[in-house]
Amino acid sequence: MTTMLRFRSAVLVMALIFGIGQGATRLAAQTQSEGRPWELNAGDLQAVGLHLPSYMPKIGDLENYQKTVPSRQEILIEWDPHTGYDHPVFREQVAEHSLKHDFAVVQRKQNIKGDAQIGTLMLRELGSEVVGVTSAGEVRGLANGPTLLVREEAFHAPGESQQNRHEYIKSKESFWVGLPDDPKIDKLILLLVHPNEKARLEQIGVIDLTVKAAPK
């Protein structure tokens, strides 16, 4: 009888341990899957065919790496969304899926002393991310780009009702990004954030940095 009770007790303890382990695993998986939907993560990059190095599996690892690099490169990029206008226009006048994107390197400076910190990687609506990658699609650097969307409160006279906030789509512009001065980076991938319950990234441009005619 004593042996049977011991056996049942052992089985009960094992069942409890297994149940607790399974619950913890599910909770951890749920936490990872929920994450922070407004922040860029490795899964977002994988969804567009890019991957982080095996020794830097998380965006946080890449951020820490870029804080410690001894030198960086700075690249001036011209972005033309082809809205059909040479000035910002009301968002409703531009069909989002009709946008065509042209990118060109205007200037590139290398061997600049100092790190290449990223800043907050928030997935802003119609915002952009610039990713420095190898020919195999391995991410070696990341930088925030500008957003196409501009929001502005409409002016109104005292006593008048508040009007709706206007939204504009930008026209052609140029912007600087800083990336690690890594010789393995041979192209830039430009991504655009589309709004949704969980923001979706779309590849909208590729710049080949190995082209000899590229400005320096």
Neighbour-count burial for 50-73, b at 16+ CB within 10 Å, e otherwise: bebeeebeebeebbebbeebeebb
What is the extent of the structural domain holding 13? 1-34
Residue 79 lies in a domain: yes
Domain check: are 66 and 77 in the same one? yes
Q: Is residue 80, in this structure, part of any structural domain at all?
A: yes
Highest averaged pLDDT of the listed ranges 10-19, 26-35, 66-75? 66-75
Mean predicted lDDT score pLDDT of the chain: 81
Q: What is the mean pLDDT of residues 86-101?
A: 82
Same domain, 93 and 200: yes
Looking at per-residue pLDDT, the higher value among 140 and 95 belongs to: 140
Is residue 7 very low, low, confident or very high in pLDDT (cuts 50, 70, 90)? Answer: very low
Q: Which helix (H) or strand (E) holds 131?
A: strand 127-133
| CATH code for position 122 | 2.60.40
Identify whether 213 is part of a domain.
Answer: no
Q: What tokens were used for 80?
A: 């033309």
Q: What is the pTM of this model?
A: 0.76
Q: Quickly state the pLDDT bin for 29 (edges 50, 70, 90).
A: very low
Q: How far is CA 111 from the centre of its chain?
A: 25
Q: Select from 152, 147, 179, 172 the least CA-distant residue to 164.
A: 152
**Tens digits of per-residue pLDDT, 117-172?**
998 788 888 899 999 999 999 999 999 999 998 887 555 555 555 556 788 999 89
- In this structure, are 27 and 63 located in the same domain? no
What is the tens place of the pLDDT at every residue in 167-196?
899 989 999 999 999 999 999 999 999 877
| pLDDT in the model for residue 122 | 83
43: confidence class by pLDDT, cuts 50, 70, 90: very high
Number of domains the chain is built from: 2
| In a shared domain, residues 30 and 83 | no
Q: Are residues 25 and 66 in the same domain?
A: no
Q: Are residues 116 and 179 in the same domain?
A: yes
